[in-house]
Structure 1
Amino acid sequence: MAKAVNTPRRTRREQAAATRERMIRAAIEVFSEAGYVGARMSDIATSAGVAVQTVYFTFHTKAELLQACFDHAVLGPDRLLPMEQPFLTDLATAESGRSAVTAFVRGNTAILTRVAAIKEVAESAPHEPDAAAVVERTEGLRREGLGQIVELIAERWGLRSGLDAAEATDLLMMLSSSGPYLTLRRYGWSEEKYAAWLTETLARELLA
């Protein structure tokens, strides 16, 4: 008779975290299929295999759940805070502006693969104040982070002649956003081809 193997039971906190993760993944799927307006909390609950009360107890509103989806996508599977992301360490220790841009593009592309779809969902509901607020908050945090990257590049390697930090941040915001990424992917570009294009474009537009 085979000996029973004792598997460690998850703690209540671990179970709650796993349930929360399952609800977020279900929400991303439902949001992507139905859009922000069309997505129902009951559908998300069904997809996640939980009671709808559990979804409301955890996230309270659909807008809070949308924000959780954004945060989950940005932080990635390891739940690393923005300044803990490995590519930022590579960027900070780069020996040239080109190497810094390459490190940024690598990390930014990885984030876009996770966040682009849910960002498109939020931006497709501009007349929904809650969804618009999520986009505004997320873009504000993104501008703050990219502004710090521009400051680092300007201090260590210099910006292109005639380009100030504010304009450089604008360019970085636009070129590295989900819009160009999704458009080029729909045109059949691979992630590698997109990353190569973005690296060349940013090096040309930003670096001295």
Structure 2
Amino acid sequence: MTTEQPPRARRAYRSPRRKQQAAETRAAVLAAATRLFAERGWAGTGMREVARAAEVSVETVYATFHSKTELLMAAIDVAVVGDDEPVPLNQRPEFATLPSGTRPERIAAATRLITIIHQRTTGVYLALREAAASDADLARQLQVTQERRRITVGEGLSHITGRTVTTQERDGLAAIASVEVYHLLTELSGWTPQQYETWLADVIDRLFDT
């Protein structure tokens, strides 16, 4: 007498091409959303507009990012580090190398990194601030984002100075090097990013000893 064997579970087939297409779609949606949030703000950007700009269906946008809130936060995360890899800024090579070199070289590397991040994130960050004024969930997300940034600034300042920095020093630099100040100087006062970078390096050099 033979016993019937249970059917083998089918192995999920994951096409490399399909995976690549999904990644390309995600990147296109993020790029479109980042541009629209920067140009139109939170209220002026809808999921249909993002879909149209990314040249995909609105169903695809919702399948990739389940809500407008999730899409904005993903756009901010990508803008901070420059790609969609799940590696936080303080674990990236450009951050890990901040303790290297002379003090002027460390300051220059840090201010260059801050300037690059501001160039990528200002538009989406201002959209988050706009949204937080009327949405409790996004207000909490803004608080989390700001606290994470303060912690990262403190780590970076410790790399520059070669010592443990105080909470007051950390919070002071986080305010001076904030997106809001960058936006004020570059958009409203007409500074170039290079002028901002040079100014910030001078401020850090004057305020923080080794």
Per the normalisation by structure 1, the TM-score is 0.83
> How far apart, in 2, do the equivalents of 1:167 and 1:59 lie?
38
What is residue 83 of structure 1 aligned with on the other side?
90
> How far apart, in 2, do the equivalents of 1:123 and 1:188 lie?
22
What is residue 196 of structure 1 aligned with on the other side?
198
**Overall identity of the aligned pairs, in %:** 31
Offset, 1:19: 0.3
| Aligned residue identity for 1:197 | W
Q: 2:101 aligns with which of 86, 94, 97?
A: 94
Offset, 1:10: 6.4
The answer on whether the counterparts of 1:151 and 1:165 sit within 8 Å (CA) in structure 2 is: no
Q: 1:150 aligns with which of 126, 140, 157?
A: 157
What is residue 128 of structure 1 aligned with on the other side?
135
Residue 206, structure 1, aligned to residue 198, structure 2: no
Offset, 1:151: 3.3
Offset, 1:195: 0.5
| Aligned residue identity for 1:92 | P
> How far apart, in 1, do the equivalents of 2:65 and 2:56 lie?
13
RMSD: 2.2
What is residue 148 of structure 2 aligned with on the other side?
141
> How far apart, in 2, do the equivalents of 1:57 and 1:77 lie?
20
> How far apart, in 2, do the equivalents of 1:82 and 1:200 lie?
24
5 Å-filtered alignment, 1:65-76, equals 65-76=71-82
The 3 A distance-change label for structure 1 pair 33 and 150 is closer
Greater displacement, 32-41 / 80-89: 80-89
Q: Secondary structure at the match of 1:207?
A: coil
Larger Rg: 2
Structure 1: segments with no counterpart, 5+ residues: 1-8
**How many residues are treated as equivalent by the alignment?**
193
The answer on whether the counterparts of 2:33 and 2:75 sit within 8 Å (CA) in structure 1 is: yes
The answer on whether the counterparts of 1:32 and 1:118 sit within 8 Å (CA) in structure 2 is: yes
